[in-house]
Amino acid sequence: MTSAIIGYARTSTIDQTAGLEAQLRDLKAAGCVKVFQEQVSSVDTKRPELERALDYVREGDTLVVTKLDRLARSMPNLVDITGKLKAKGVELRVLALNLDTGTPTGKLMLNLLGSIAEFERELMLERQREGIAKAKAEGKYQGRAPTARRKADDIRRLKAEGKTVDAIVAELGVSRSSVFRMLRGEPSGR
């Protein structure tokens, strides 16, 4: 069985062409024989090319990314992805960190870096919550109106025009439950 070096490249938006090209260049230089690429935010739940890459790799292969944030959006997400790779007998290499999970040091470093990233994210969220609480106490923070409430008039107008709930959901980008709530005249949740 021959092993392969497989790459994965991602940018958050289609406007980041230079960033994607740089990743593709670096992955090719690292010896990747096949590269999966996509331009989608890491916060999106669906990253189809990442899923295809994870399905594609086989025992003995190495998945290569240029940076850790191109692969995972959080520590739990990183643990999930590396768990899938480990179960298949696939190693992970992160070029920017010179990290290779094929070595004991690489495995240790990946766990440490992931933990530090999660810690930093939690600190940022804590500071954000504190800032919001302070702004609320000073009467400076109202939050945002829920999307469906802002679109309530549009929901009622489209329904009056004979549109189905599914058509309204598709056109306005709100949930079915929000459409029903607005049509019943109930305040939106949250």
Same domain? For 82 and 162 the reply is: no
pLDDT tens-digit map of 176-186: 888 888 888 76
Q: What percent of the chain has pLDDT over 90?
A: 38
Backbone angles phi, psi at 140, to 5 degrees: -100, -5
Same domain? For 112 and 153 the reply is: no
Question: CA dist 134 to 23, 129, 138, 139, 190, Å?
Answer: 41, 9, 6, 9, 20
Same domain? For 104 and 40 the reply is: yes
Is residue 94 situated within a structural domain?
yes
Same domain? For 107 and 167 the reply is: no
Task: Give the CATH number, domain containing residue 59.
Answer: 3.40.50.1390
Is residue 103 situated within a structural domain?
yes
* Number of independent structural domains in the chain: 2
- What residues make up the domain containing 18? 5-117
Burial class (CB in 10 A: 0-12, 13-18, 19+), 1: exposed
Is residue 93 situated within a structural domain?
yes
Is residue 50 situated within a structural domain?
yes
Q: Looking at per-residue confidence, does 174 or 43 come out higher?
A: 174
Is residue 134 situated within a structural domain?
no
Residue pair 52/36 in contact by the 8 Å Cβ criterion: yes
Does the active-site annotation cover 12?
A: yes
As beta bridge partners, residue 34 has: 6
Q: Looking at per-residue confidence, does 75 or 8 come out higher?
A: 8
Residue whose tokens read 């480990």: 86
As beta bridge partners, residue 39 has: 11
Mean pLDDT confidence for 1-29: 88
Mean pLDDT confidence for 159-178: 88
Same domain? For 81 and 172 the reply is: no
Best-predicted range by mean pLDDT (71-75, 97-101, 168-172):
97-101
Is residue 135 situated within a structural domain?
no
Sheet order of strands, 91-94 included: 34-39, 5-11, 62-65, 91-94, 99-100
- Report yes or no on whether pTM surpasses 0.75: no
Please state, in angstroms and rounded to a whole number, the distance separating the CA atoms of residues 142 and 52: 42
Task: Tell how strand 99-100 and strand 91-94 pair up.
Answer: antiparallel
What value does the mean pLDDT of the chain take? 86
Same domain? For 17 and 106 the reply is: yes
Same domain? For 112 and 161 the reply is: no
pLDDT tens-digit map of 92-134: 999 998 999 989 999 898 888 777 877 887 888 899 889 888 9
Same domain? For 155 and 99 the reply is: no
Q: Above 50 in pLDDT, residue 190?
A: no
The catalytic position among 3, 12, 42, 74 is 12
For residue 187, what pLDDT is reported? 56
Residue pair 78/109 in contact by the 8 Å Cβ criterion: no
Same domain? For 89 and 172 the reply is: no
Same domain? For 28 and 105 the reply is: yes
For residue 162, what pLDDT is reported? 92
Is residue 72 situated within a structural domain?
yes
